[in-house]
Structure 1
């Protein structure tokens, strides 16, 4: 709703009644991770998914879709202790809630190595090779929302007017906003002509692998600066942007000074707001071997970590 209010404020012409927004019907369902990470690895068994069911499980090292109401054993991910097998049978939603309350989340299987780790846990438990015993829930589910944002961002927020989307005239696959007091949404044919509202992200992920100093020069030459994170709001924006990274960590505008033994932002702010991973961000950095700079993890809890500035990573530029 905050975005909706900003949108309405941005249109100053009172003669404009409808404006396009970037929501379009694509007809595509998609599989998502319970943890919110991008799903880049899907190890489906032959004939899977069959299109009927919405929750993911693993059997014999391969993914299958099942009705979410089925009960199965499951595996949680714990940030501190790793993977935890839960010897209780629950439906997928209850298993997800259990993992979030007692650990971190249902396990994400993001690559072949993690696939083998989960498979080994199932083997170690000596679960029955056939039947539901060998089927273990993982943190994978299908979103049956065929409406997608044009920038590919994830959002479950919808603000349809009552009775919409109705596809009344056929082919009404694009969305506009009625700029009245409510500002609710309608579906219209995409070839209709209306004014529109553009959006520019304040942060931009650069998927080039550069050292910290190279990343700093790139941002200052092409945008404003490497991003400085000094509030919950900016950290939330960073967490949204960093999900698309191709490296396990992403440079921030965070630097360690060996001279005075402190961390500082390149924009000039002091580091008052903290989001360090355990064991990182101390003043006792190893200054003999490499200058240390700050990065944010692209997966997991997306905490800040200390890395040698010669590492080559993706990075985030700020347009502020």
Structure 2
């Protein structure tokens, strides 16, 4: 939630103008950490700025235009929080009583597949937000973007991604779906981000350039020797740093490129099942937040660890510690 970085601050005060804008924004040209900025805004105004729609976004840009620097707003990532479903279009509230999940989609085993797609004209599914798919705009439709790129395109060219059950029941949507075999993105997403003032606004407007961060591929190395999981662990710690830890989708992408050159169908990664605690842990002590399991892992075996497929979808599977595979080390 907190950050060691210091930026100027965007606070808001609650009020209502002639056009019934919910907030009055104040740009504070003092460099502070996020938690310091939050405290300042709560003491001097109401809270850090909450952004409810593109109109708010433009107002924020206008008040800070002369400074041209980054500034804190009230959005923070509650890392250990529950992922909450939202509709992309501001003002459309998500209701658990108005869902229409395809069979088997209600439990995703903790996988980071956080963006909605239409399996057919009536059923919903979800997939990784970073893959490219066709998508459905409200007042328009286009092809092949990631979910966030699709959202940005729809807001610029039309209104937004199709959002809410009312829009999905439109006859035009059914015509589009029937005209293609592809499963398009629509305006459903989930995340663990929250607003400082406790409001439930679903508006997000990410800078896509910052979302394209890629880790240094030279920090991992494939060892083409067949070892048990424990022997692989000791090898990595003795010759490099550790068995590899995968904390996000970008890590996963780089590592799956490495494992394509393996000589075994699976490679060991630094994921181990802690039998006494009944959950999976990384050997680096990182919490298992990002997951890429092929299926829900078993929780009744004390001698299993995590391995990645070297072909296909590069999914994770639990394997007996005594099996021998190539493995991936992280480097100092």
TM-score, scaled relative to structure 2: 0.34
Larger helix percent: 2
Q: Which has the higher contact order (CA 8 A, sep 6+)?
A: 1
